[in-house]
Structure 1
Amino acid sequence: MSVNERELPKFQHVTITFLPGEQTRLRSFYAGVLGFSEKPVPKVVQPLGWIWFETAVPGVELHCVPDPVPVPAGTRHHFCLEVDDLHVRRAALMEAGVRLIEATPLPLRPRFFARDPFNNLIEFVKVEGDYIAAGL
């Protein structure tokens, strides 16, 4: 069976790191600013201090794990969040004091970046259509 005949794999979660002892700051940003809902982690990993959030896609989660090694400054590794209203999201992040990073424009995908309190890079995008079908 070729790869094309098989079902494509789906993302189940993305993992980011935060500094140990900074759970309150993490929750404040991801639940307070971004609006994610925290979900209980399995009992076996509760002692490890992991925090999980639900996303808008059922079954796809954001996993946050403590790590004493900070995320390197300037890293370009990131995850992307699709939003319905980029302007509203931009305003909410600015109101929370988050510095925004402008991005190279992409056809039918206006976007910008921001860093969470732990230097994780997040892209915010509004998908306005299929750039391939539009011939862009």
Structure 2
Amino acid sequence: MTDHEPLPETRTGPEGAARASGTVDSLDHVQLAAPPGSEDALRAFYSGVLGMEQIPKPPVLAARGGCWFAAGTAVLHLGVEKDFRPAEKAHPGIRVRGIDEFAERLRAGGADVVWDDDFPGHRRFYSFDPVGNRLEFLEPSIPEPSD
């Protein structure tokens, strides 16, 4: 196939767009690392400050430590890593509604908020979780078309 040939249509996704078999369908989750023993701080931040729901890990994975969180279609797994180093450049991009209020919520929770205007069509800022992982929060500044 060349860049100009369409992929074979085999099913339709939830948005009504044609999907091909053998292609990426969606992003299931993003995993970030965390140091051993940081679960309470992670729960306080991801559930308490960000408002995400902690979701159960399967028992075999729960024995390894860490915790999982979800909000809307966003799912974050935080896994324990013995020789932990925070992700200072790599990061998940987390879409929010009401970005100014969300930034205030983070500040009230003790997190730094660093605004960045370099992504056209979006308002965004960066922050860090309690173990030092970089997080990007963004909201389209151009209204998205409604269905």
Deviations 1:51-75, CA, capped at 9 Å, x for gaps = 1112211xx52111111333347x2
2:137 to 121, 124, 127: 124
**TM-score normalised by length of structure 1:** 0.83
Pairwise mapping of residues 1-136 of structure 1 onto structure 2 (< 5 A)? Answer: 4-5=6-7, 6=20, 7-57=23-73, 60-72=74-86, 75-129=88-142
**Structure of higher RCO (CA pairs closer than 8 Å, 6+ residues apart):** 1
**TM-score normalised by length of structure 2:** 0.77
Structure 1 gaps, min length 5: 132-136
Residue 2 of structure 1, CA deviation:
7.3
Task: For 1:41, give the aligned amino acid.
Answer: K
Bigger proportion of residues as helix:
1
C-alpha contact 1:70 1:118 (8 A) present in aligned 2: no
Question: What RMSD over aligned residues (CA atoms) do the two structures have, in Å?
Answer: 2.3
Structure 2 gaps, min length 5: 8-19
Moved over 4 A (4+): 1-4
C-alpha separation between the residues in 2 aligned to 1:38 and 1:66? 16
User: Sequence identity of aligned pairs in percent?
Assistant: 27
Residue 50 of structure 1, CA deviation:
2.9
